[in-house]
A and B are shown apart, each in its own frame.
Chain A
Amino acid sequence: MNVSGYLNIFLALVFSPFLFGVINRTKAFFAGRHGQPIFQLYFDLGKLLRKGAVYSRTTTWIFRGGPIIGLAALLMATAIVPGGKNGAVIAFSGDVILFIYLLGLVRFFAVLAALDTGSSFEGMGASREVQFALFAEPAIFLALAVLARRTGQISLSGIYADLTFETWQIAAPVLALVAGTILIVFLAENARIPVDDPNTHLELTMIHEVMVLDHGGVDLGIILYASALKFWLLGSLFIGLVVPLRTGNAGLDAVVFLAGMTVLGIIVGAVESVMARVRLLKVPNLLLVALLLSVLALIFGMR
Chain B
Amino acid sequence: MFLILAALALLLLSGLGALGLSAFSRKAACLAVAGIVLACLLGAVPVLRFFLNGQEVSFSLALHIPYAAFSVALDGLTAFFLLPILVLSALAAIYGLEYMESWVDKKSVGVSWFFFNLLIASMIVVVIARNAVLFLLAWEVMSVASYFLVTFEDERKEVQKAGMIYLAAMQMGTAFLLALFISLGQTSGSMNFDHFRDVSGHLASVIFVLAVIGFGVKAGFVPFHVWLPEAHPAAPSHVSALMSGVMIKMGIYGLMRILIFLGPPPVWWGGLLIAIGIVSGILGILFALAQQDLKRLLAYSSVENIGIIALGLGVGLLGMSAGIPIIAVLGWTGALWHVLNHACFKGLLFLGAGAVVHETGTREIDRLGGLLKKMPWTGGCFLTAAAAICGLPPLNGFIGEFLIYFAAFNGVAQESRVFLFSLGVMASLAMIGVLAVACFTKVFGTVFLGEPRTEYGLKAQEIKGLMLAPLLILAAGCAAIGVLSPLLVPIFSRVLPEVTGLSADIVQENLRRATGPMVFISASGAGIVLLGGMIAFFRRNLLKGRKVERSLTWDCGYAAPSPRMQYTASSFAQPLTGFFGALIRTRRQIVRPQGIFPKEASLATRTPDIFEQRFYRPVFERIYHAVLKLRFFQHGRLQFYILYILIALLALLIWKLK
* A residues neighboring B (CB under 8 Å): 49, 51-60, 62, 65, 68-69, 71-73, 75-76, 79-80, 90, 92-98, 100-102, 104-105, 107-108, 111-112, 115-124, 126-128, 130-131, 133-134, 137-138, 141-142, 145, 148-149, 152, 154, 203, 213-214, 217-219, 222, 284, 291, 298, 302
Contacts and interface: CB of A to CB of B under 8 A. Distances in A.
B416 interface: yes
B223 interface: no
Nearest to A215: B554
Interface of B: 369-370, 372-373, 383, 387, 390-393, 398, 401-402, 405-406, 408-410, 412-413, 416, 419-420, 422-423, 426-428, 430-431, 433-435, 437-438, 441, 444-446, 449-451, 513, 516-517, 520-521, 523-524, 527-529, 531-532, 535-536, 539, 542-543, 546-556, 561, 563, 565-567, 571-576, 579
A-B pairs, top 8 by smallest CB distance, nearest first, are A123-B567, A115-B445, A118-B450, A72-B532, A130-B438, A52-B546, A52-B547, A72-B531
Contact of A148 (B412, B444, B446, B555): B412
Contact of B535 (A72, A94, A115, A119): A72
B575 A52 contact: no
Given A52-B548, A62-B449, A69-B528, A142 B427 contact: yes
A76 B524 contact: yes
B402 A97 contact: yes
Contacts of A95: 517, 520
B409 A96 contact: yes
B520 A92 contact: yes
Contact of A141 (B430, B520, B553): B430
Contact of A60 (B402, B449, B543, B571): B449
A68 B539 contact: yes
Q: Does more than half of chain B's interface fall in helix, strand or loop, or is it mixed?
A: helix
Nearest to A141: B430
B428 to A, nearest CB: 8
Nearest to B446: A115
Nearest to B565: A120
Given A53-B548, A97-B406, A138-B431, A112 B575 contact: no
B406 A93 contact: yes
Nearest to A114: B445
B430 A115 contact: no
A59 B448 CA distance: 11
A179 to B, nearest CB: 19
Give the residue among B428, B449, B451, B527 with the most A Cβ atoms within 10 A.
B449
15 contacts: A55-B548, A59-B553, A69-B532, A71-B531, A79-B527, A97-B401, A101-B393, A116-B450, A121-B556, A126-B441, A130-B434, A131-B579, A133-B437, A218-B542, A222-B535
A62 B386 CA distance: 14
A154 B398 CA distance: 17
B431 A127 contact: no
A122 B405 CA distance: 33
A214 B424 CA distance: 40
B214 to A, nearest CB: 32
Contacts of B520: 90, 92, 95, 98
A60 B416 contact: no
Contact of B550 (A56, A60, A130): A56
Given A73-B528, A98-B393, A101-B391, A142 B554 contact: no
A145 B449 contact: no
Given A49-B542, A97-B402, A116-B449, A72 B528 contact: yes
A100 B450 CA distance: 29
A298 B548 contact: no
A231 B532 CA distance: 20
A213 B573 CA distance: 21
Contacts of A102: 393, 524
Given A108-B387, A123-B567, A93 B517 contact: yes
A19 B445 CA distance: 33
A124 B542 CA distance: 31
Given A104-B437, A119-B555, A218-B543, A127 B567 contact: yes
Given A68-B532, A92-B516, A101-B398, A55 B573 contact: no
B535 A121 contact: no
Nearest to B526: A76
A137 B431 contact: yes
Nearest to A69: B532
Contacts of B521: 98
